[in-house]
């Protein structure tokens, strides 16, 4: 091969290498761009959605239905709550920031969306910080009910549906491990997880009980949280089992249980006391209808404002022919509103007026 041909070969290799690098750069830009977008869960590809669900939720969301389903089928954005019962907030934050990118949750000062710096995915539950109880892995929307309840250290508080303990430990955190916190659940197998989580988080002011909600009706609490069992349609992105289990019959069944729980929670309040009722479903029958039911049957129930920095939706005034009392002060969020789980929260006070 001549010297001229050798030089030409070198130039071609350089050009090829340059072109390859440009292509790689383009791929990197595309991948980076994609990584900034929430990703559709690969398990969603073969998912069958019930016709009745589609019809009902198109009625609920209208033109926003596709956006609801888009976010419901995406991977959940990971978030944690820093546990100040174990260490000061700034100390835990500084410790995490060595390996994690933290983005503050606007409505909860202890809450952060979290992303591992070195790898695409990482099991937060295996970190020393989790094992030591310095953090609690909890969806950002799930942090709302205790924030709205705003328990104080000297108060007597009831968490009626406490297991597995995310909100219970958050309440204890706000009470600074003082006062008395009754952590109740109706199922014994769920109490095991509750006990483990409360111990891990260093909660000392809680007493775990296994009772029906009605057991507490004649007692007198400053604050009550009823985080009611529900059809869970705000948490589809956490488990597609929700879609498989959903049915109009399940919604009606849950609504019956929720009416009993909200009444029991309200009756357990002392005059002037406050209750938060919350669910992780998008069903009006389990949300606005339940709050309207309480307001209708208990004249001393007063709905309070919920003032937190969050994108929210207008609560339903009616649905499927059923009109509700004024529930406009309730908080309703869908998964696409804040890239979180969907949630419903109502804050209710027992006034001094006798029912």
pTM: 0.87
What's 215's DSSP letter?
G
Residues 332, 194: one domain? yes
DSSP-derived 3-state class of residue 89: helix
Are residues 90 and 198 part of one domain?
A: no
* Active-site annotation holds for 330: no
What CA–CA distance (Å, rounded) separates 64 from 52? 17
Which residues, including other chains, have CB under 8 Å from residue 254's CB and lie 6 or more apart? 228, 229, 230, 231, 281, 283, 286
Same domain, 241 and 131: no
Residue 54, domain member (yes or no): no
Of the three residues 114, 137, 160, the one that is the final residue of a domain is 137
Domain shared by 219 and 245, yes or no? yes
Distance between CA 267 and CA 270 in Å, rounded?
A: 8
My answer on whether 130 and 150 are in the same domain is no
Please state, as a whole number, how many other Cβ atoms lie within 10 Å of the Cβ of residue 33: 9
Whether the Cβ atoms of residue 181 and residue 149 lie closer than 8 Å to each other: no
Do both 116 and 229 map to the same domain? no
Flag whether 159 is in a domain: yes
Residues 113 and 147 in one domain: no
336 with 250, same domain: the answer is yes
Look at residue 211 and tell me if it is in a domain: yes
The CATH number of residue 113's host domain is 3.30.70.1170
pLDDT at 47: 86
Task: Please check whether residues 85 and 196 belong to one and the same domain.
Answer: no
Does one domain contain both 280 and 175? yes
Beta bridge partners of 278: 227, 345
Parent domain of 93 = 79-137
Asked, for residue 16, whether it belongs to a domain, the answer is no
Using the 3D structure, point to which of 103, 122, 137 is the last residue of a domain. 137
Residue 39: the pLDDT is 63
pLDDT value of position 36: 40
Q: Find the catalytic residue in 108, 161, 230, 280.
A: 280
Specify whether the CB–CB gap between 222 and 157 falls below 8 A: yes
> C-alpha angle with apex 223: 221 to 225, nearest 5 degrees?
115
Report the run of H or E that residue 318 belongs to, with start and end. Answer: strand 318-319
Q: How many domains does the chain have?
A: 2
| CATH value at residue 158 | 3.40.50.150
By the 8 A CB rule, do 107 and 310 touch?
yes
Whose CA is closest to 107, among 83, 136, 140?
Answer: 140
Q: With contact defined as beta carbons under 8 Å apart, do 271 and 298 qualify?
A: no
pLDDT at 352: 83
In this structure, is residue 218 part of a structural domain? yes
Which of these three, 137, 167, 187, is where a domain ends?
Answer: 137
The verdict on residue 259 lying in a domain is: yes
Structure tokens at 163: 């297991």
- Listed residue (164, 51, 147) closest to 105, CA to CA: 147
In the prediction, which pLDDT does 8 show?
Answer: 47
Residues of the chain below pLDDT 50 = 3-4, 6, 8, 10-37, 355
Question: Can you spell out the DSSP letters for 115-179?
Answer: EESSSS---GGGSHHHHTTSEEE--TGGGHHHHHH---TT-EEEETT-TT-HHHHHHHHHTTT-S
212 lies in the same domain as 115: no
- Asked, for residue 3, whether it belongs to a domain, the answer is no
């Amino acid at each position: 091969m001549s010297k001229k041909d050798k030089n030409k070969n070198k130039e071609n290799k350089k050009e090829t290498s340059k072109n390859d690098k440009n292509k790689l750069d383009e791929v990197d830009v595309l991948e980076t761009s994609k990584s900034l977008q929430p990703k559709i869960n690969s398990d969603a590809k073969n998912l069958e959605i019930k016709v009745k669900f589609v019809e009902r939720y198109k009625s609920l969301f209208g033109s926003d239905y596709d956006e609801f389903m888009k976010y419901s089928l995406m991977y959940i954005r990971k978030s944690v709550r820093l546990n100040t019962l174990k260490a000061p907030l700034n100390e835990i934050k500084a410790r995490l920031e060595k390996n994690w990118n933290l983005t503050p949750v606007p409505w909860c000062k202890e809450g952060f969306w979290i992303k591992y710096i070195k790898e695409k995915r990482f099991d937060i539950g295996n970190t020393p910080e989790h094992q030591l109880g310095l953090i609690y892995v909890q969806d950002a929307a799930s942090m709302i009910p205790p924030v709205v309840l705003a328990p104080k250290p000297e108060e007597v508080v009831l968490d009626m549906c406490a297991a597995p303990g995310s909100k219970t430990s958050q309440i204890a955190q706000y009470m600074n491990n003082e006062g008395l916190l009754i952590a109740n659940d109706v199922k014994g197998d769920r109490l095991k997880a509750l006990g483990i989580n409360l111990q891990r988080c260093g909660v000392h002011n809680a007493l775990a009980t296994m009772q029906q909600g009605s057991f507490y009706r004649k007692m007198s609490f400053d604050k009550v949280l009823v985080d009611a069992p529900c059809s869970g349609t705000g948490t589809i992105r956490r488990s597609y089992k929700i879609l498989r289990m959903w049915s109009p019959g399940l919604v009606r069944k849950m609504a019956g249980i929720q009416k009993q729980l909200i009444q029991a929670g309200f009756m357990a309040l002392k005059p002037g006391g406050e209750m938060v009722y919350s669910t992780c479903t998008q069903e009006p029958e389990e949300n606005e209808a339940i709050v309207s039911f309480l307001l209708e049957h208990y004249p001393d129930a007063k709905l309070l404002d919920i003032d937190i920095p969050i994108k929210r939706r207008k609560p339903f005034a009616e649905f499927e022919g059923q009109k509700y009392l004024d529930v406009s002060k309730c908080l309703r969020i869908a998964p696409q509103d804040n890239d979180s789980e969907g949630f419903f929260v109502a804050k209710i006070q027992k006034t001094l007026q006798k029912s």
